[in-house]
C-alpha cells in the first residue's frame, strides 16, 4: 500500500471535546447517524452478523419514516492477521481475498433489503489516509510511544487480553489457543483516559446501553486500564504506521475510525460536521470494550466529539454458545430467506427475544411465530378484507357512512400503536415496537369479528354499514402497511399494491398515518398470499 500523508489536507473540524456539542452545541449537525460494525471479510455472513444489521436497518427506516434525515453506514473490516491468514490459506493476496468477499456481503444485505447509505471498506484510500493522519497527530502530541508488548492475543478476536483472563491458554470467547506475543510495539496511552472515561459513564449513562453492559464497562475501567499496543511488526497486512512503516496498525485502531472517515473526517469538514458524532453505534457485546473504552479514548485524544450511544446487543446462540463459523454453527441468511422470505426473516429477528439479551435460534420458533403473526394475523386480515371488498363492492373501496364508537375506537388504536411504536424505537426496543403494531393488527381482526361484515352482507338495509366497515378495514390495512414498512418493506409494498396505492412515500408518519378516505374509489386486487404458511416439517 502506498500512502502519502504529506499531501493530506489538514482537517479543520472543531476540536470541541464537549461530547454534547454534536447534537446540542454543534449547529451544523442535522443528520441522525447510525452505524453497524464493519464485518471481517475472512468469512461469509451468517445470521449472527445479519442480526445487528437487520435491527439497525429497522431503526433507521423508522427514523426516516418519521421524517428525520438519517445516514446509515455499514461496511467491511479488511485488515489484520486473521484476513492475511485466511487469504494465505486460500492462495490469494489479502486484497484479492477481500475483493472476492465483499460482493458476498453486499448480496446478503441486498437480499435482506438493508437500506444502508454507504458501504465503507477499510482498504479504501478515503479511509486509510485520514486514519494515518489521526494516528500521526496522536503520536506528535505524545499519546503514542514505543515499548515492548508481552501478553496473550487471540487472532480470531483480533484482541489483546490480560493474562488473568486466559484460562488453559484459551481465548474466553473463541475457546481457541491464544498467541503469546513479545514484540516492540507502539502503545496508545489508554490509561491516561481512565478518569475521563469513568466521568463519561457517570455523567452520560446513555453512552453505553443496556445497563448491564454499562456496568460491565464501568467495572472494567475502574479495575485499571493498561496502555494499548497499537502496532504490529510480525505481519504487514494493515495500515502502515506513517512515521515507522515497518509497523502496521493494530486492526482495531484502523477499523474503529471507519465511523469517522466514512462521513468525511479529514476530507470533507462540512459533511463531517453535519453528521458526526454518531447517534448510535450498534454492536454485539463481544466488541463492547473496543467501542466503549478504546474508541471514546481515541476520540478524546483526537479532540473529536463522542458518539451519543453505543448499544451492545446479545448473541444469537446455538446449543448455548455464540453462533459462529468458528464453532461451525453459522447459518447462512440465504437459507432462511429461501423459506421465510426477506420479510419473514426480518420480522423474526426483530420480534423474537429482547434486544440486548442473548437469544437461542430455532427453526421451530421461527416457523411458529411466522405462521401465527404473519400468515394468520396479518396475512389473513389482508386476504379476507380484500375478498369481502371484491365480493360486495366490485373490488372498489366504498364510501363510508357515519362512524360509530367501534370505528372511533379503531382509529384511536392506530394512533396508539404508532405512538407506542415510536416510544419503543427510541428505547431501542424493536420487539416492543413490533408488538405494538401487531396489537393493532389483532385489534383490526377483533373489529371484523365484532362488526361481522359477512352478516351485514346478507341484509340489504345494512349496505351502508357494510361500506363503513369495509372502508374502515381497508384504511386500517393501509395504516398497517405504513407501520410495518420499517420491519417488512417488501410486504408493505405488496399490501399497498393490493390496495391499489403506491409504496409508502416520503411524507412523515404524522401526515401519512391518520385515517381518512384516501382509499375510497381505489380498485383493490386480491393478489397472491402475502405470507404463505410454512409447514414445520419443511424447515427440518
Ligand atoms: N470487524 C469487527 C468489528 C469492527 S467495528 C469497527 C468484528 N467483525 S465480525 O464480523 O467478527 O463481527 C461483527 C459483529 O457481528 C459482532 O459484533 C456482532 O455484532 C455480530 N455477531 C457475530 N456473531 C454473532 C452472533 N452469534 N450473534 C449476534 N451477533 C453476532 O467484530
> Measured from the CA of 330, which atom of ligand 1 is nearest?
26
Calculate how far, in angstroms, residue 169's C-alpha sits from the geometric centre of ligand 1: 23
pLDDT at 318 over 60: yes
Q: Whose CA is nearest to atom 25 of ligand 1?
A: 48
Strand runs labelled E in 115-216: 118-121, 144-154, 159-160, 179-188, 208-209
Q: Whose CA is nearest to atom 9 of ligand 1?
A: 39
The residue among 14 and 19 whose pLDDT is bigger is: 19
Instruction: Say yes or no: CB of residue 51 within 6 Å of ligand 1.
Output: yes
Strand runs labelled E in 155-287: 159-160, 179-188, 208-209, 228-229, 231-232, 248-249, 280-284
Calculate how far, in angstroms, residue 162's C-alpha sits from the geometric centre of ligand 1: 21
The residue among 421 and 328 whose pLDDT is bigger is: 421
Best mutation site among 49, 54, 312, 362 for ligand 1 pocket (most ligand atoms within 8 Å of CB): 49
Contact 474, 385 (CB under 8 A): yes
Q: Whose CA is nearest to atom 10 of ligand 1?
A: 39
Interval 363-417: pLDDT, tens:
999 999 999 999 999 999 999 999 999 999 999 999 999 999 999 999 999 999 9
CA proximity to 35, closest of 78, 71, 79, 64: 71
Helices (H) then strands (E): counts for the chain: 20, 16
pLDDT-derived band at 14 (thresholds 50, 70, 90) equals: very low
CA proximity to 217, closest of 199, 193, 235, 201: 201
Interval 509-518: pLDDT, tens:
999 999 999 9
pLDDT-derived band at 327 (thresholds 50, 70, 90) equals: low
Q: Cell numbers 499496543 correspond to what residue?
A: 229
Instruction: Say yes or no: CB of residue 467 within 6 Å of ligand 1.
Output: no
Calculate how far, in angstroms, residue 40's C-alpha sits from the geometric centre of ligand 1: 8
Catalytically active residues, by annotation? 46, 49, 154, 157, 171, 174, 322, 325
Residue 95 grid coordinates:
486484497
Strand runs labelled E in 78-143: 118-121
Q: Whose CA is nearest to atom 17 of ligand 1?
A: 284
Instruction: Report, as an integer, the average pLDDT of 465-477.
Output: 98
Secondary structure of residue 360 in the 3-state scheme:
strand
Calculate how far, in angstroms, residue 356's C-alpha sits from the geometric centre of ligand 1: 14
Interval 483-517: pLDDT, tens:
999 999 999 999 999 999 999 998 999 999 999 99
Q: How far is it, in rounded angstroms, from Cα 355 to Cα 331?
A: 20
Instruction: Say yes or no: CB of residue 83 within 6 Å of ligand 1.
Output: no
Secondary structure of residue 17 in the 3-state scheme:
coil
pLDDT cut 70: percent of the chain above it: 94
pLDDT at 317 over 50: yes
Calculate how far, in angstroms, residue 340's C-alpha sits from the geometric centre of ligand 1: 24
Residues in the chain: 540
Instruction: Say yes or no: CB of residue 49 within 6 Å of ligand 1.
Output: yes
Listed range (57-66, 119-128, 143-152) with the worst mean pLDDT: 143-152
Instruction: Say yes or no: CB of residue 255 within 6 Å of ligand 1.
Output: yes
CA atoms lying within 13 Å on the CB side of residue 223: 9
Q: Cis before residue 408, ω within 30 degrees of 0?
A: no
Other Cβ atoms within 10 Å of 420 Cβ, number:
17
Calculate how far, in angstroms, residue 284's C-alpha sits from the geometric centre of ligand 1: 6
> Measured from the CA of 37, which atom of ligand 1 is nearest?
5
Backbone angles phi, psi at 349, to 5 degrees: -80, -10
Residue 333 grid coordinates:
441468511
pLDDT-derived band at 234 (thresholds 50, 70, 90) equals: confident
pLDDT at 295 over 90: yes
Calculate how far, in angstroms, residue 220's C-alpha sits from the geometric centre of ligand 1: 21
Give the pLDDT score at 539. 43
Residue-averaged pLDDT of the chain: 92
Q: How far is it, in rounded angstroms, from Cα 197 to Cα 192?
A: 10
Instruction: Say yes or no: CB of residue 55 within 6 Å of ligand 1.
Output: no
Q: Strand 208-209 to strand 309-313: parallel, antiparallel, or no bridges (unpaired)?
A: parallel
pLDDT at 474 over 90: yes
pLDDT at 537 over 80: no
Best mutation site among 257, 284, 319 for ligand 1 pocket (most ligand atoms within 8 Å of CB): 284
Instruction: Say yes or no: CB of residue 256 within 6 Å of ligand 1.
Output: yes
Distance of CA 61 to the CA centre of its chain: 10
> Measured from the CA of 255, which atom of ligand 1 is nearest?
6
Instruction: Say yes or no: CB of residue 322 within 6 Å of ligand 1.
Output: yes
Instruction: Say yes or no: CB of residue 294 within 6 Å of ligand 1.
Output: no
> Measured from the CA of 317, which atom of ligand 1 is nearest?
26
Calculate how far, in angstroms, residue 51's C-alpha sits from the geometric centre of ligand 1: 9
Interval 143-171: pLDDT, tens:
999 998 888 999 888 888 888 888 889 99
Amino acid at each position: 500500500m502506498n500512502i502519502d500523508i504529506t499531501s493530506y489536507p489538514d482537517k479543520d473540524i472543531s476540536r470541541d471535546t464537549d461530547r454534547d456539542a454534536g447534537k446540542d452545541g454543534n449547529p451544523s449537525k442535522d443528520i441522525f447517524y447510525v452505524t453497524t460494525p464493519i464485518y471481517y471479510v475472512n468469512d461469509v455472513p451468517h445470521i449472527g452478523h445479519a442480526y445487528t444489521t437487520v435491527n439497525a436497518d429497522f431503526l433507521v427506516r423508522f427514523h426516516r419514516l418519521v421524517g428525520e434525515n438519517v445516514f446509515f453506514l455499514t461496511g467491511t473490516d479488511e485488515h489484520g492477521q486473521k484476513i492475511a491468514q485466511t487469504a494465505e490459506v486460500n492462495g490469494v493476496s489479502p486484497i484479492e481475498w477481500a475483493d472476492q468477499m465483499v460482493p458476498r456481503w453486499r448480496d446478503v444485505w441486498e437480499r435482506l433489503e438493508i437500506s444502508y447509505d454507504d458501504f465503507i471498506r477499510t482498504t479504501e484510500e478515503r479511509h486509510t489516509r485520514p486514519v494515518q493522519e489521526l494516528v500521526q497527530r496522536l503520536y506528535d502530541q505524545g499519546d503514542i510511544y514505543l515499548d515492548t508488548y508481552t501478553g496473550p492475543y487471540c487472532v480470531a478476536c483480533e484482541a489483546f487480553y490480560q493474562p488473568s483472563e486466559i484460562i488453559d491458554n484459551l481465548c474466553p470467547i473463541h475457546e481457541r489457543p491464544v498467541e503469546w506475543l513479545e514484540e516492540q510495539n507502539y502503545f496508545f496511552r489508554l490509561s491516561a483516559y481512565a478518569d475521563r472515561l469513568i466521568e463519561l459513564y457517570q455523567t452520560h449513562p446513555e453512552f453505553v446501553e443496556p445497563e448491564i453492559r454499562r456496568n460491565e464497562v464501568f467495572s472494567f475501567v475502574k479495575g485499571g486500564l493498561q496502555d494499548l499496543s497499537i502496532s504490529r511488526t510480525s505481519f504487514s497486512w494493515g495500515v502502515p504506521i506513517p512515521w515507522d512503516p515497518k509497523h502496521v496498525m493494530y486492526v482495531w485502531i484502523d477499523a474503529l475510525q471507519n465511523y469517522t472517515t466514512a462521513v468525511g473526517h479529514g476530507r470533507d469538514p462540512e459533511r463531517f460536521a453535519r453528521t458526526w458524532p454518531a447517534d448510535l453505534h450498534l454492536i454485539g457485546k463481544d466488541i463492547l470494550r473496543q467501542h466503549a473504552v478504546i474508541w471514546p479514548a481515541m476520540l478524546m485524544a483526537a479532540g473529536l466529539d463522542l458518539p451519543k450511544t453505543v448499544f451492545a446487543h446479545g448473541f444469537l446462540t446455538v446449543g448455548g454458545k455464540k453462533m459462529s463459523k468458528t464453532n461451525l454453527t453459522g447459518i447462512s441468511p440465504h437459507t432462511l430467506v429461501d423459506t421465510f422470505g426477506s420479510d419473514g426473516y426480518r420480522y423474526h429477528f426483530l420480534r423474537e427475544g429482547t434486544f440486548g439479551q442473548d437469544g437461542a435460534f430455532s427453526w421451530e420458533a421461527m416457523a411458529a411465530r411466522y405462521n401465527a403473526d404473519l400468515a394468520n394475523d396479518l396475512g389473513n386480515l389482508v386476504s379476507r378484507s380484500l375478498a369481502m371488498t371484491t365480493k360486495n363492492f366490485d373490488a372498489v373501496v366504498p364510501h363510508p357512512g357515519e362512524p360509530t364508537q367501534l370505528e372511533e375506537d379503531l382509529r384511536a388504536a392506530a394512533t396508539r400503536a404508532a405512538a407506542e411504536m415510536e416510544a419503543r424505537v427510541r428505547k431501542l426496543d424493536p420487539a416492543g415496537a413490533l408488538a405494538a403494531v401487531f396489537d393493532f393488527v389483532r385489534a383490526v381482526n377483533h373489529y371484523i369479528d365484532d362488526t361481522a361484515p359477512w352478516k351485514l352482507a346478507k341484509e340489504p338495509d345494512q349496505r351502508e354499514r357494510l361500506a363503513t366497515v369495509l372502508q374502515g378495514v381497508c384504511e386500517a390495512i393501509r395504516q398497517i402497511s405504513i407501520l410495518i414498512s420499517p420491519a417488512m418493506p417488501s410486504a408493505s409494498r405488496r399490501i399497498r399494491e393490493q390496495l391499489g396505492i403506491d409504496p409508502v412515500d416520503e411524507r412523515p408518519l404524522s401526515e401519512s398515518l391518520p385515517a381518512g378516505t384516501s382509499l375510497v374509489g381505489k380498485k383493490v386486487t386480491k393478489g397472491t398470499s402475502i405470507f404463505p404458511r410454512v409447514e414445520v416439517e419443511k424447515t427440518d
